[in-house]
Structure 1
């Protein structure tokens, strides 16, 4: 099976959720899924759910703290470790679907170089489906991808003071 490059971006809610839905579908079909979450750290509900699948692996590379200003050396090191892990996964070629969650935001925040993210497309074996998520996808990434979906925020209850709810947003 030929693998393509998908990008989920935009300011609306649902980019990670869409990629995890794809991971769930792939896992249900017996495909092996590897997910690298940039900038994230913690016990999210989706991590708990996906841990029940033997054919899904999730690793997190981040502090779990929203980055403002200049990233720390640890933030940069975490992102580089995530990038290296993706390279290793591609080199081993044992997975069918690979998700680089929040990779676009990692580029936007300056913890991951855009050239490194773009190089993943060239490193990707022909058979692996690569999904890259996060707001702020660069124009070059959009051009190189095979499928791009932009989530557009029309209305969000967050602006009425609703915090992220367990099982729905986290």
Structure 2
């Protein structure tokens, strides 16, 4: 199965659910017989979603290009190099013909933190083959990315509970 037209979707905003929405889309795509590629630009490690997705490894490929640390200031050369590998992997996945859905998880945050310029995301959006769905997640989506996308969903924090500065949520992070 292939898309006649693959769209570019952006999930952004300060509310929770951006990654969850993208993973839900990946799950639905896999269930429909499509192949999905996910590049995680910030995370590194064996998170619960990685464990769950490993059960669908014949349909969903996940690679992590984050170094597992929060970028508070200027990214290190190692952080930038890892992000560049992620961008190369995204381009390869988009053009390989092997995947119908490609997800840049936390791509907006990576650009916002300076791991790569937002122009890299815009170039990927322009170069995306017409029959591949591209999903870009993360808060702080640049206005140009929003303008260029076909579908944009903004997650809004309406009611989030915090305990000791940590957002309470269903499930466990790791």
TM-score scaled by length of structure 1: 0.94
Alignment partner for residue 52 of structure 2, among 49, 65, 70? 49
Contact 1:62 1:75 in 2 (8 A): yes
Residue of structure 2 equivalent to 1:67: 71
Q: Is contact 1:26-1:33 (8 Å) kept?
A: yes
Q: Does 1:30 align with 2:41?
A: no
Aligned partners of 1:162 and 1:144: how far apart in 2? 34
Q: CA RMSD in A?
A: 1.6
Q: Distance in 1 between matches of 2:19 and 2:42?
A: 13
Match of 1:90 among 87, 94, 99: 94
Alignment coverage as a number of residue pairs: 170
Query: CA shift at 1:113, angstroms?
Result: 1.1
Q: Which runs of 4+ in 1 moved over 6 A?
A: none
Q: Does 1:19 align with 2:22?
A: yes
- Against the structure 1 CA distance between its residues 127 and 63, is the aligned structure 2 distance closer, same or farther, given a 3 Å change threshold? same
Contact residue 45 and residue 166 of structure 1 kept, 8 A: no
Rounded Cα–Cα distance in structure 1 between residues aligned with 2:37 and 2:122: 18
Q: Which residue of 2 aligns with 1:39?
A: 42
SS at match of 1:40: coil
- For 1:99, the equivalent position in structure 2 comes to 103
